[in-house]
Structures are given as C-alpha cells and as structure tokens.
Structure 1
C-alpha cells in the first residue's frame, strides 16, 4: 500500500462504520469525556428527504447517494439469478434505508447462542440491552423500555383488507398479537416501526445528532477504510481514504462495525482470513482465520401476489393523479397515510409444520403489488403476501476477488441449497394458499398471479420459489461469534488471536434471528459497548 500521506492522530477507539451498530458505539464510548473516539463512515450525510419520509425507502434503495448498489453472484438456488443487495451508504447505515420494522426475534434464538457456548448471550442476558435504548410508545413495562434513544411507534395508517388477513390467520389457528417482541412472536398483528411522528427514526438521529457537541468525538464521512495496521498480533489502527487522500489513524482499540459484507472485506484486505484465498489475491497473510467471510445467512422471501376485488389497495391510488396528490397532502399535514408506510404493514408468524416448537415462517403482507421492488405498482388491485423461512440452513460466503479495496466483495448467499430449505419453501407456498382460501379473505375473490395456480407439484413450486424469491436484506454471520474453528470472534466480540480488534455488527451472529435484524444489531452494540468500557476500567 502507498504510504498514508497524513495522520489523524491517536485515539482510544476508532469505529469503522456509522451504521446501526457504529452510531450506538460512538454514543456510549464517548459518554466518558476521557475517551477519544473517532467514527469513520464511508457514506455521506443522512440529511436527505427520502431518508426522512418512510415511503422513501423506494428511492433510497438503488440510489447511489444512499446505497452501495451491491449485487449477489448468480445463485443456483435462484435459477441462476443475481439479486440487488441494498446496503446503507449513509450515516445510520441500513437503518436509513430499511423497512423500519422493530423486531427482536425469539427467545430461543439467543438461548441457542448461549447453548453453543457464547456466555452472556441468552435471552435473559440480552433483554436488558434491548430495553436500555428503547423509547416504546406504550411506555415502560417488563418487556419494553421508555426514554431511550430508539423510538418505537405504531404505524399511522389502516387498510381493511389487512384486518381481513388477521381474521384469516385466526381461521388457521394463528392467534392475534399486539406485541411480537416478548420472546415468542407467534401470531398476527401490525408491525411496530422505528418512526417518530410519522418520520423515519434512524440510528444517526437517535444516537449521534444529540451528541455532536462532545469534544472527544469526531465523525468523519466519506472515509473508506483500506486496511488495518499491525504491530505483531496487535492491531494498532488503520488507513482510510478520503477525497482521494490516504490517512493513518492510531487507536488503542479498533472496532469494525461495517456490517456483514464490509467487515469481512476489511479483514481480508488486511491479511486476516483464509490463507489460500488471501495468497491467491496477492495479500500478505497477517493472521490465518478460516471463518472470515463464511457462514453467510439471509432471509429469502418468496413474494406471492394475488389480484383482489372489492378492496382498496395502494395500486388504485398510485395510478390516480388526484389520489397521489391527496396522499402527499395527508402526509404533509398529518404525517400519516401511505407515505408514512413501512414496506410491510401486517406480520404473521406461523409454523410450516405443527410439530415445530416456535414459528419458522414470517409473512409480510402489503396492500400493493409490483413485479419488482422499486418498479411501478400494478394497475389492478392486488396484495403481496411475502413469506420467508426464518431459520435457513443454507450457508453462503462473502469474499474479496482482488486486493483492490475499491472493488466490491463477492456475495454468494447460496439460497435454497439444502433439502430442508427447499422443503420449507414448498411448505410456505402451500401455507400461503391455505391462508388465501380462508373465509375472511375469500370474499375478495383472490386470484393468484405469482407463482400461479398452474404450479402445484413440489418440483414446480421449488422452481418458482427460485424464480420469485428475493432477499429481505438480512445478511448476518460472516464473522461469527463462537469458539469453534470457523468462528471469528469470541463471546466478548474480540477477534480470535489478535489484540486491539473487535467486530460489532450483524456479522457476529452465529445463527440468524427469527425476525428482522436491525434492532438486534443495536442490542449487540449496546452489550458490546458495556463490555468494551468494562475492559478499560479493569
């Protein structure tokens, strides 16, 4: 590497990535004025109207201002298709462009982490860290916090056809619930969202904006980390690029919070990873660690679409000029209506097999439809009933293809690569069809558009799942926590075999949680901050 041309000085903590984890870490670590904290974000400012307006996720994904525009490699499980893979390129990271759904997952997820040997990561251990940052609309209770930075509200709209889906779920034995976050998420209900008064509430607003006057915290945007620096087995800082110039920063502790794609990328560029892969790229091997970039897990959603009659959906309003104007006016005046929508409004957590102890399917039901996310809505009234396997067996990888830091990593999710995942995909499509035959929705005369009733055999359904399945944007696991030979960090999130380096983001999850992943990452950062500060005091 070319010698860095300037020095950013010495810091106690350098955090790479001002996303969902990085913003929390910066807040907590800089609360003590004795700690010198530098937060590096490769993207730019989140002060952008489409970040604030909830429906703006449609204009942030695929937008080079806010999205890294990643793509997966062609995937055999998706019949050779490659998917767009949105990742936040902005302060707040993915919390600035995601679906805003507040979800913790199931208690059994975290108890499974603990059972695998990760001390302090069971449900009872992590619940206090969820509560710490919460500001829940219902106030303080045994299961929710109040007064924290992370605002959770009810959605500010209503669709009668979604109420009918709750009735249909009850017909299938799925109870109603008002809270998916008590440790068991079985049931149907409206998702709670990370909004404040109908405006997106991201981690930049929640954890950074109120502390910009701290003299011991420096936030630098447009700063792309090139590689870590070492003194033997100790990481002593890093080199980053800003405005075409390289800068060196020294740190007592370096924390990677760049996410499940970019944290393993930075490790590999720094010579930490699989020796045979690094040697093939011409990267000097600093530390052999076979698990870097492995164990990629993601939730694959299968987007089924049904035409309906006698029901209001967003499709009709979208194609009517006066209705669109009215929607804009409603949001401007009340911060409510379709422009305040999260991508998914109604959730259903169900079991693909009644013998299962906890739900393994998550529905996202929307009163709209389109061929692909970001494209115009259909001209006919319709609903989208997406369903995903919450606990996929398939494992993929994220690896560099060259030593060039400016080149994107190769993302290989390896979807539907196990018999179990294929069986669950088939079962989930059949479950959707049972739901759509329930009396509560039958009155809307649903007509299956995707995948289509002509596809009914197991072979047909798995092929169509590959045709219409898409990511729900939950990559995790590529720097997994554990003590086995493929783990990257220990249960205090320290990188195995190195000093002065931690990873704190979704990549440390040993297994994916049974729900949306954003708020679990905030919990991980809360717990990590406490451990880091505890180590300093010791």
Structure 2
C-alpha cells in the first residue's frame, strides 16, 4: 500500500462501496477504501436465506447493543450492523424500499437543500438495475440489481390475501406511484443471490489499479493539519498505519461508527470530549445527537400445517441452492411479505406503519429457535418522534459507544400510541379469514390484550429495533447540523460524511436504498468540487 491517496474512504459498507466505484472511475484519481471487517467470503452472506444463520456471527457483525431503555422496562436491545465488505447490505433482509417523495421534500424543508424528491429520484434510478425494466420511477441499467423473489412461501400469499380482507389494496410496486397496500418485497438480489454493494459496486472496480481495498483496517482517528482533514490513523491487522489524503477524507461508517470516529478525532460536544481527554478540533454538539430508529413489534402464531420455513433442512436447502442454480427456499429473503398502512393517527397522507411478514417464527431476531411451525408479523411505526444519542464510552477506539435511541421517549407519548396501533393492526390482520386454515395457538401475545394498558405492556415487553438507525451526523444549514447539504463536516475542511447518519429524519421504509442513493449523489458532489 502507498501512504498517500487522493481520497480515503473509511468504511466499505452500503455507501463506501458506492463511492469507491464511482470515484475510481477516473483513472487519474487514487482511492483507498478502508474496512474494519473482512472479505464477504461466507457462503451464507450470498445465499439470501442464509441471513438467518449469519445474524449472530460477530466476525461479520459489530454486535452492538443499546443502553437500557427506560420505556421498554430497562431492556437492552441488540443492534446488529455489518462489519464486512458491503456492510449492512451484506447482512440485511434485502428489502428494496425508498420511502415516498414527501420524505425527501421534508429533508429539504429542514435545511437539506438539494435533497428534495426531484433531485434524488435520478440517483435512485441511476443506482437501480430493476429486472422488470426501467420507467419513470425505476432504473434498468444500474449496478444494484433489484428483482422479484424467486421463491415465495404459500403462507406469504395468505398474508397478502388477509391484508386485502382488511381493506388494503394489493400493491405490486411499493417504489412506484403509491406506497400503500400489501404485496411482496422486491429485493436486492441478482440471479437468486444477494446483491450487496460489495457485489454491485466494489467487485466490478476491484481490478482498477487506482483503487486499493484494505480489510481488517480499524480506523482510530482522522488526523488534521490545522482544521483540514489530512489523513487517517488505523490499525491494519494489528499494525499501525497512517494514510494521508490529498483531497478529502470520506467517512462512511454508518449511524453508529461515523459519529464515534468524529468524536474520537476531536469533532463533537467539546465538554464531553475534554472529559475523556480528547483534544477538541471543533465543538460540534450535534455529533451523536438526533439518533432515530424504527421500533418494531412482532406478533407470532403457530401454524397448523407444516409449511413454514421452521421445518426446512438447512443442509438440504443449502445443497438445493448451491447445486441447483440458486433455486428453492434458499433464495428467500425470509421477510417476503410487505405492507404499508396509513393509520387513523397519521398526520398527513403518508403511510405511517410498515409490515414485514415472515413465514417462520422469529423470536429474539431469530436467535431463539421455537419448536413447531409458525409465522411472524412485524409492524413498525415509520415516523417516530423520539430522539436519542450516541456518546463515547471512552477515548479508546476499540470500546463500543453508548447507544441510546431513547425508544418511546417522546414527551407526548405519541410513539407509544402508534406502537399500540401496530400491535392492534397485526392482530386484526392475522385474525382474517385467509388465515383460518393455518392459524394455531398464539405465541406472542399469548393472550389477546383486552385493554390499552395490556397493549402497552405487550409493546414494552416485546418491541425490538428493525435495524434502521440514522441521523447522528444530521445534514442541514443550521448551527447544530453536523454536515452541510454538500455533506461537508461543518467547521473543518476536507472531510465529508456519506452514509445514513446524515439523514435529517427517517424515510418511510427500509434505509438501505436511500443510503445508496446518498452515496451516488455524493460522488457527483465530490467530483464537482475537485
């Protein structure tokens, strides 16, 4: 490896792989991509249904946890994030969802000028290679392959039928003209295999002589000359290195790691940094603030027929997948069924509840196997009002940060009202006639709640994250924004943040596609400044 590059990208995740590809398209530019994890070699990364087996692998997962959450009975919630080439796009459920136009218009209205829907749609389309073809909403030729599921469990069709029985329309495209309804997720898969950003963007660029990819590289600090970011100090396989950047350092660590590294480097709330003995480069109280996440409540029932994924033979499924040309249940993303619902509490025309239907019993993120057959319905409130924080536990880069999403902590209690609505909607949908031939004994909740207090207790006991942390390096034009609308870190030069941490608020759905869009647009912003 050389010691000096034009651009140093920290984090080869959903955004970092995009930037590595796009910036290295110019052969005159030298790019270094640093990744704390290793290569995406594990076969269960690439077999979609393998996500159930890799969830707890700390070799490819940062394995974070929140601090105890007061509104959830003091529970500590698991917060998995990808630590591997492709980042969380290598371990997620591959659901391709963008949100709706108003989400991005709201970003712009909050100071993220240039990020309104008309500006970001071209970048969604640029990234997307939809196997259905291109149209006004979709791209057909982009690196990120988006496709229909090759294998769908019959219980997922039962879910869709039940959703229609509640009055929801069937929706064949949640990223098209309208989001509301029930149907199947389109997924980031290519020929039945996961299409992470490592596959879509990094693999085609790896042979470029001007791109260096360095795995097992744990960044400990961004270095500065005055107030200009000049390089990165990191340990590569345990050996210390310092790399210098001629143009810019690009931080792509995600909503947890990016604010952590900024604070370790002296950019953050000054008093907090001084207490930990960190020299302050720039007092930025917004770093680590504005943490948002989608909280999710799951309803589980036994199935009277042996057709769920609970009974699948892992060996048989893997053999059929790897020897049979990527066919069979191994191609399932597990979270097959989708729903977007506008509740009676919605303040505007947007759906405010998202559903993920899984034809298997998922308890404790799939880490606790339950006996028999069953199915799971996830429901989350899309627009939480609670805001949390991320803070350093110490000045050591290897120590995990203090993650406090402050779930259900909004002063008005609106988030709890919405989570109760999520639970009620789930029970209503699963009680529809379509499930009659399959409905077995309830698992969670074991007894149908009979009062508002009982529903609240169910939420406090069962709610978990659905893995969409954002906002900790918020984009805007006010004094508390961490980055400006060009994603440049305010108060310093030569440093940008490009990942989900810059989102001012959550979009209405999964966050992977919006993160890729952000990186696509960032690449153009960076090239325009060079």
Same structural fold, with TM-score higher than 0.5 when normalized by the shorter chain: yes
Q: Counterpart in 2 of 1:273? A: 268
| Greater shift in the superposed pair: 242-251 or 343-352 | 242-251
Note the C-alpha offset of 1:21: 0.3
Tell me whether 1:353 sits opposite 2:348 in the alignment.
no
Q: Counterpart in 2 of 1:227? A: 221
Q: Counterpart in 1 of 2:170? A: 176
Q: Secondary structure at the match of 1:39?
A: strand
Q: Any idea what the Cα deviations from partners look like across 1:80-109, whole Å, max 9, x if unmatched?
A: 111221111111111111111111111111
CA distance in 2, matches of 1:158, 1:437: 22
Q: Counterpart in 1 of 2:293? A: 298
CA distance in 1, matches of 2:289, 2:177: 28
CA distance in 2, matches of 1:376, 1:64: 17
Correspondences of 1:93-104 after superposition (within 5 Å)? 93-104=87-98
Note the C-alpha offset of 1:56: 1.7
Q: Any idea what the Cα deviations from partners look like across 1:475-528, whole Å, max 9, x if unmatched?
A: 100001012232100100001111101000000000011101111100000000
Tell me whether 1:61 sits opposite 2:55 in the alignment.
yes
| Greater shift in the superposed pair: 120-129 or 367-376 | 367-376
Residues 1:447 and 1:350: Cα distance change in structure 2 (over 3 Å): farther
User: Alignment partner for residue 108 of structure 1, among 87, 102, 120?
Assistant: 102
Q: Counterpart in 2 of 1:398? A: 390
CA distance in 2, matches of 1:444, 1:245: 57
Q: Counterpart in 2 of 1:341? A: 332
Give the 4+ runs in structure 1 shifted more than 4 A. 323-326
Correspondences of 1:285-434 after superposition (within 5 Å)? 285-310=280-305, 312-315=307-310, 317-318=311-312, 326-331=316-321, 332-353=323-344, 356-375=348-367, 377-418=369-410, 419-434=413-428
Q: Counterpart in 1 of 2:256? A: 261
Note the C-alpha offset of 1:329: 4.0
Structure 1, unpaired ranges of 5+: 1-6
Note the C-alpha offset of 1:226: 1.0
CA distance in 2, matches of 1:526, 1:457: 48
Q: Secondary structure at the match of 2:3?
A: strand
Residues 1:431 and 1:374: Cα distance change in structure 2 (over 3 Å): closer
Tell me whether 1:499 sits opposite 2:493 in the alignment.
yes
Q: Secondary structure at the match of 1:59?
A: helix
Note the C-alpha offset of 1:243: 2.5
Tell me whether 1:282 sits opposite 2:277 in the alignment.
yes
How many residues align? The count is: 525
CA distance in 2, matches of 1:133, 1:531: 16
| Length-normalised TM-score, structure 2 | 0.96
Note the C-alpha offset of 1:148: 1.5
CA distance in 2, matches of 1:25, 1:327: 35
User: Alignment partner for residue 165 of structure 1, among 154, 159, 165?
Assistant: 159
Contact 2:259–2:473 under 8 Å retained in 1: yes
Note the C-alpha offset of 1:334: 4.1
CA distance in 1, matches of 2:10, 2:314: 41
CA distance in 1, matches of 2:366, 2:493: 44
CA distance in 2, matches of 1:310, 1:206: 39
CA distance in 2, matches of 1:309, 1:277: 55
CA distance in 1, matches of 2:250, 2:314: 45
Q: Counterpart in 2 of 1:44? A: 38
Contact 2:152–2:332 under 8 Å retained in 1: no
| Greater shift in the superposed pair: 435-444 or 16-25 | 435-444
Q: Counterpart in 2 of 1:3? A: none
Q: Counterpart in 1 of 2:508? A: 514
Contact 1:343–1:366 under 8 Å retained in 2: yes
Residues 1:208 and 1:325: Cα distance change in structure 2 (over 3 Å): closer
| Greater shift in the superposed pair: 248-257 or 57-66 | 57-66
CA distance in 2, matches of 1:91, 1:294: 27
Residues 1:47 and 1:445: Cα distance change in structure 2 (over 3 Å): closer
Contact 1:436–1:446 under 8 Å retained in 2: no
Correspondences of 1:10-49 after superposition (within 5 Å)? 10-49=4-43
| Greater shift in the superposed pair: 181-190 or 31-40 | 181-190
